[in-house]
Structure 1
């Protein structure tokens, strides 16, 4: 069951075409999984269309922003259906929400990280870093906080981080006010899609030794 959603402010920015490219992508993917948020955005879009029709001159600058935002999106390119629909890792197949399907063929390959973690970087052609991250049962990310913002969408499975418990479809935003250690005990593990605009800052254990070099891993 989806419990965590973008705020109304974020959904309105998405409907207006004013959200950043990364936020727009992860909201779109969340909406593919969440009828409640899709209906809310449709409500906002209806209101904006009403305003545009009743006050065309006042709405013109905002409509132009929306048009510019749409035109700035990268063109969709054809990909094979199998690549577009699923991510594969060690014999497992994960179905992707429609908005992320075209990026399945743009990963740099899976890298085995510490413990039971796997990571596949995604080239979105925008500022920041995007990754698919898979945690096997018993896997965890070392405790950390954030120098910037981290947006996460749970694509399959569930995990906890000491602050909350997250299920498939949940939308999560963390910043420097959050210190957490994501881990999963789910039999199926957990697959997430993550966007970072700044490197992580590890706060405990040997992982802290990586902090001086975090900018190198972020490139």
Structure 2
């Protein structure tokens, strides 16, 4: 069950096209998975349209009436738009991605096997920052760290914990310099996430701290 969602301001900025492209992508992917946020987004978009109509001075009242009638129409239901699904593949496993991430299934820069039973594949979004698919095998973990900037994470498959709370498929997670956490999973199926960071991690314990002086190099 999805418990964590973008807040109302984030959804409003997304609806108005005011988000950075990376943030917009991860919010779009969450709404692909979350009926609750999809409904909220529909309401926000309708309200924005009403506000735009109220501010608009139109010489054609009939046109305004037509737009108002369209906005009052119930949303279409039971309509399925088919598209070819692309699966993300890793070491014999296949993952179905949310529609907004489908195009990146075959555009990753290869999987890297990292210490801690981790796999990571970078995605080039052309943004200031970096985006990655990360898969944690059962028993896998990321060393304890905080953030020099903001990290947005969407759980795509499975579940994990980080010492702050537990997360499940579809959860939208935001972490910053106010948080110190250690993501790990004991789920038999492991856990796949998609993350966007605007600045490097800062490791806070163990041998991983030796990487901090070089974190900007790994981030590029």
Task: Tell me if both proteins adopt one fold, taking TM over 0.5 as the criterion.
Answer: yes
Q: What is the rounded CA distance, in whole Å, between the counterparts of 2:127 and 2:213 in structure 1?
A: 24
Identify unmatched segments of 5+ residues in structure 2.
58-82
Cα deviation, residue 115, structure 1: 2.2
Where does residue 6 of structure 1 map in the other structure? 6
1:32 has 2:55 as partner: no
Where does residue 53 of structure 1 map in the other structure? 53
Q: What is the rounded CA distance, in whole Å, between the counterparts of 1:27 and 1:56 in structure 2?
A: 29
Where does residue 72 of structure 1 map in the other structure? none
1:156 has 2:154 as partner: no
Q: How many residues align?
A: 195
Where does residue 15 of structure 1 map in the other structure? 15
Cα deviation, residue 16, structure 1: 1.0
Name the TM-score, length of structure 1 as normaliser: 0.87
Where does residue 124 of structure 2 map in the other structure? 123
Aligned-residue CA RMSD (Å): 1.2
Q: What is the rounded CA distance, in whole Å, between the counterparts of 1:20 and 1:123 in structure 2?
A: 15
Identify unmatched segments of 5+ residues in structure 1.
58-79
Where does residue 41 of structure 1 map in the other structure? 41
Cα deviation, residue 189, structure 1: 0.1
1:211 has 2:218 as partner: no
- The C-alpha deviation readout for 1:103-154, integer Å capped at 9, x for no partner, is 1121000000012000000011111100000000000000000000000000
Name the TM-score, length of structure 2 as normaliser: 0.87
What SS does the corresponding residue of 1:39 show, helix, strand or coil?
A: helix
Q: What is the rounded CA distance, in whole Å, between the counterparts of 1:19 and 1:124 in structure 2?
A: 14
Instruction: Please identify runs of 4+ aligned residues in structure 1 that moved more than 3 A.
Output: none
